[in-house]
Amino acid sequence: MSAMAITRAQAFPRGATAVERWSIRLAASVTRWATRRAERRQERHEAMLAAIQAENTRKADPRAIEHLLAQVGLNGR
């Protein structure tokens, strides 16, 4: 989540021309877009790391060793 709080109400300097007001609105829109994009990228990154961690910490099958030993013709116990 972003620490920025962007609101729709914008304060324009007194005497700002139409071009200046337009450029301030454009800058706010670009900032909102970039912030959302960065947040989505961070969420995807965290999900990918969680998936990698889950894959690396899977529990081993307790019967897997016995199965492998049986494949080569040895008794496990």
Q: What is the pTM of this model?
A: 0.56
1-40 pLDDT, tens digit each? 456 565 667 788 889 899 999 999 999 999 999 999 999 9
Task: Yes or no: say if 39 and 2 are a contact pair by the CB < 8 Å rule.
Answer: yes
3-state secondary structure of 9: coil
DSSP state of 48: H
Here the tokens at position 43 are: 């969420």
- The Cα 34–Cα 9 span in angstroms is 19
